[in-house]
Amino acid sequence: MDAIEKAKNHFEEIIKEQLERIERMKTDYKWIDYNKLKPIIIGVAGGDGIGPYISREAERVMKFLLKEEIEEGKIEIREINGLTIENRVKEGKAVPDAVLKEIKKCHVLLKGPTTTPKRGDKWPNIESANVALRRELDLFANIRPVKVPEKGIDWTIFRENTEGAYILGNRGINVTDELAIDFKVITNPGAERIIRLAFEYAKKNNLDRVTVVTKANVIKATDGKFLEIAKKIAEDYPDIEWDDWFIDIMSAKLLDPARRRNFKVIVLPNLYGDILSDEAAQIQGGVGTAGSANVGKHYAMFEAIHGSATRMVEEGRAEYADPTSLIRAVAMMLNHIGYVEKAKKLDMAIDACQYERKCIITGRSDGATTSQMGDYIIKKLENI
Ligand code: IPM
Ligand code: MG
């Protein structure tokens, strides 16, 4: 078969899959109700690189806060093994089938960062476990809060998590040795569900602005659709102002003190959300300070916003990694499964620790260790 024919067949397959996905999304409207579950099963997967180090602390904090519920059988914590790069490579899969099966038996997952190989790495170029899990569990909303009270910053980023330039990242084609093509997808139900969730969040929290970010002036079909759908959904929320920005100037404006305090809820397609959330986290004190909720109607996964930082491990600095990101994710998880007061308490403890700065993580031996930070946050919790 010639190269063009092969590429056309591949493209046809992708189109069919996406059309089927659209139909599935249209009939999938019911959210899981955590109030009805006993026990709520929380899976914990440590991940790669610094993952096991920061997960250990996050799990410790979580068990501290849920001690009674675990004893009373309201919560079950379950270790999920095998989501390591070694095992994924051995099985030749982003998420080995047996591991995915175990994850699906849990209601929510606390996940340490996993290594994502790229072309030329020592690992085979398998798909990102994050991206695969987000797709397999249909975790369409990646919610990433960033707060810097003294600068008037309080942003909640709603990153679309199952479409965009990302989700087919492993399905691009090398048509010939000289031509590579990737695919970017935006669908109506996919854009609608994330944009609506962002507006609902704004409404529920009395926030009067939602900012939509695209590059619709250039990427006309997909980003154009995202923006058009935002415009339509905004009509249902007359009390909420909305504005639209292009991703390039938005990245600049996050650094503009006069402008950035106006942003509150930010909703955007996958890759833009990936990049903008790292920038936002850096403004807050580094990616090691930011947590992330991956939410779908049936499952949810909570993680740090950063990767596995294998460089830190290679340089012998893993025990100086900041666990705050994943501990923040625990707070988001508690909130999501209905333990709102405990979530608030943990958020307060983390905020207080960040404010006091008695335990400072630098990522190096001149700073605090991962477990010292865990101790510090638990001590704070004991005193709140
Ligand atoms: C994130 C991470 C992941 C992503 C990587 C590890 C695949 O950067 O959660 O933002 O790009 O989505
Ligand atoms: Mg990222």
pLDDT score for 354: 86
pLDDT score for 357: 84
307 CB near ligand 1 (under 6 Å): yes
pLDDT score for 1: 73
Q: Is residue 37 included in any domain, yes or no? A: yes
Tokens in use for 260? 């950035």
Ligand nearest to the CA of 308: 1
102 CB near ligand 1 (under 6 Å): no
Percent of the chain clearing pLDDT 70 (strictly above): 100
Number of domains making up the chain: 1
Q: For ligand 1, atom 12, which residue shows the shortest CA distance?
A: 274
Average pLDDT, the chain: 96
CATH code assigned at 55: 3.40.718.10
344 — phi, psi (to 5°)?
-60, -45
**For ligand 1, mutation pick of 48, 85, 114, 116 (most atoms within 8 Å of CB):** 116
**For ligand 1, mutation pick of 111, 115, 128, 303 (most atoms within 8 Å of CB):** 128
pLDDT tens digits along 71-117: 999 999 999 999 999 999 999 999 999 999 999 999 999 999 999 99
Q: Is residue 51 included in any domain, yes or no? A: yes
pLDDT score for 226: 98
Tokens in use for 270? 């996958």
- How far apart CA 180 and CA 124 sit, in angstroms, is 19
Percent of the chain clearing pLDDT 90 (strictly above): 95
Q: Is residue 10 included in any domain, yes or no? A: no
pLDDT score for 80: 97
111 and 83 in contact (C-beta within 8 Å)? Answer: yes
Q: Is residue 347 included in any domain, yes or no? A: yes
51 CB near ligand 1 (under 6 Å): no
270 CB near ligand 1 (under 6 Å): no
pLDDT tens digits along 200-254: 999 999 999 999 999 999 999 999 999 999 999 999 999 999 999 999 999 999 9
Residue 276: pLDDT over 80: yes
Give the DSSP letter string of 336-349.
Answer: HTT-HHHHHHHHHH
pLDDT score for 75: 98
**For ligand 1, mutation pick of 140, 268, 274, 287 (most atoms within 8 Å of CB):** 274
Q: Is residue 44 included in any domain, yes or no? A: yes
301 and 139 in contact (C-beta within 8 Å)? Answer: yes
Q: Are strands 300-304 and 141-148 parallel, antiparallel or unpaired?
A: unpaired
pLDDT tens digits along 127-147: 999 999 999 999 999 999 999
296 pLDDT band, cuts 50/70/90, is very high
What is the position in ligand 1's atom list of the atom closest to the CA of 270?
A: 12
In 3D space, the residue among 360, 296, 366, 353 whose CA is nearest the CA of residue 327 turns out to be: 353
Residue range 27-33: mean pLDDT, rounded: 95
131 CB near ligand 1 (under 6 Å): yes
Predicted TM-score (pTM) of this structure: 0.95
pLDDT score for 306: 94
Domain range for 318 is 31-139+296-384
Q: Is residue 128 included in any domain, yes or no? A: yes
pLDDT tens digits along 144-176: 999 999 999 999 999 999 999 989 998 999 999
User: Using omega within 30 degrees of 0 as the cis cutoff, is the peptide bond preceding 39 cis?
Assistant: yes
CA distance to 23, 44, 85, 89, 150, per residue, from 323 (Å): 40, 15, 20, 26, 23
Residue 66: pLDDT over 80: yes
Sign of the alpha-carbon torsion through 343, 349, 353, 354: positive
pLDDT tens digits along 250-264: 999 999 999 999 999
